Amino acid sequence: MKPTQRTGNQPKRAPKWVVILVAIVIAVAFAAAVYVRYHQTSIVQPVATKTAAKGPAAFNKHQYSLTNPTSIWVVVNKQHPLNPISYAPTDLVVPNIPLRVPGNETMQVRAVTAQALETMFAAAEQQGIDLMLASGYRSYSYQTGLYNGYVQTQGQAVADQQSARPGYSEHQTGLAADLEPVSRDCELEQCFATTPEGLWLAANGYKYGFIIRYTTGNENITGYEAEPWHVRYVGVDLATELHNTGVQTLEQFFGVSGGTTYASP
């Protein structure tokens, strides 16, 4: 059959070379767009990578005073007595936890310590761990009587290994606490470390701002024999930092002098 003749109303087709030219222009534009996008990404990417590579900010060791007796980071040892030596906290309270001697002066701690103890004891109880406060705050006069009693019965050399002289005791800050099982098993004895309560405390205390202050192997640094029952409140940030870094004493972490020899107040 013969092809149908085009009528005057039908549009003319574009020449083949025009179609090819348009296709080339579109292809070049697309390639240019891809190049620009890739080029921008290659410029931004190194900056993002560099930012992501930055580590966490260094721990601020100057956030709290190490000498002010009201500071939660105050370092008290045989080289660093409290100043004033007869310091007494103004915010002592009785925590809402099991107490060994209700009504006794030593059942008090500072308010910040009490709140942390209550939170920690509640968490421990949920895991079947029943703790009790054996001793908290001790005034200058109370510590005087306690220390002198050790001296009279065991001699000063032994007393200085087990008990602090008045004015040199963490208990006087209201930030320290001796803990024990409600059952009183291994009460203030080395075997507390192997009890379920002692093991839980050593593994979890940092989560609530507490550290085991006097640890095995650090007697020449802290000045005291190991006391797995003696915790010290320093706040969650510092307790976590010590836990993560493996540093066991405040003296080592802050570069503060310690030891077994007493300095004059």
CATH assignment of the domain containing 167: 3.30.1380.10
**Are 45 and 97 in a shared domain?**
no
Place of tokens 């900010």: 57
pLDDT in tens, 99-111: 999 999 999 999 9
Question: Does some domain include residue 58?
Answer: no
pLDDT in tens, 116-143: 999 999 999 999 999 999 999 999 999 9
What radius of gyration, in Å, describes the C-alpha atoms of the chain?
35
Q: How far apart are CA 124 and CA 180, in angstroms?
A: 13
**Are 136 and 225 in a shared domain?**
yes
**Are 135 and 245 in a shared domain?**
yes
**Are 118 and 38 in a shared domain?**
no
Question: Does some domain include residue 72?
Answer: no
**Are 111 and 168 in a shared domain?**
yes
| CA distance to 158, 163, 169, 257, per residue, from 261 (Å) | 13, 13, 14, 11
**Are 228 and 170 in a shared domain?**
yes
Question: Does some domain include residue 98?
Answer: yes
pLDDT in tens, 48-61: 444 445 666 899 99
Place of tokens 């209550």: 118
Question: Does some domain include residue 60?
Answer: no
Question: Does some domain include residue 2?
Answer: no
Number of structural domains in the chain = 2
Question: Does some domain include residue 103?
Answer: yes
Q: How far apart are CA 168 and CA 94, in angstroms?
A: 23
**Are 114 and 46 in a shared domain?**
no
Q: Could you list the residue range(s) of the whole structural domain that residue 29 is in?
A: 15-50
How big is the CA angle at 131 (ends 89 and 126), to the nearest 5 degrees? 115
Question: Does some domain include residue 109?
Answer: yes
**Are 244 and 130 in a shared domain?**
yes
pLDDT tens track of the chain, all 265 residues?
A: 444 444 445 555 556 655 565 566 566 555 555 454 544 444 444 444 444 456 668 999 999 999 999 999 999 999 999 999 999 999 999 999 999 999 999 999 999 999 999 999 999 999 999 999 999 999 999 999 988 998 889 888 888 877 888 999 999 999 999 999 999 999 999 999 999 999 999 999 999 999 999 999 999 999 999 999 999 999 999 999 999 999 999 999 999 999 999 987 6
- Best CA proximity match to 145, nearest among 165, 162, 129, 161: 165
**Are 23 and 149 in a shared domain?**
no
Question: Does some domain include residue 26?
Answer: yes
**Are 98 and 211 in a shared domain?**
yes
Q: What does pTM read for this prediction?
A: 0.78
Q: How far apart are CA 122 and CA 158, in angstroms?
A: 36
pLDDT of residue 52: 47
**Are 231 and 118 in a shared domain?**
yes
Q: Would you tell me how many other CB atoms lie within 10 Å of the CB of residue 74?
A: 22
**Are 235 and 126 in a shared domain?**
yes
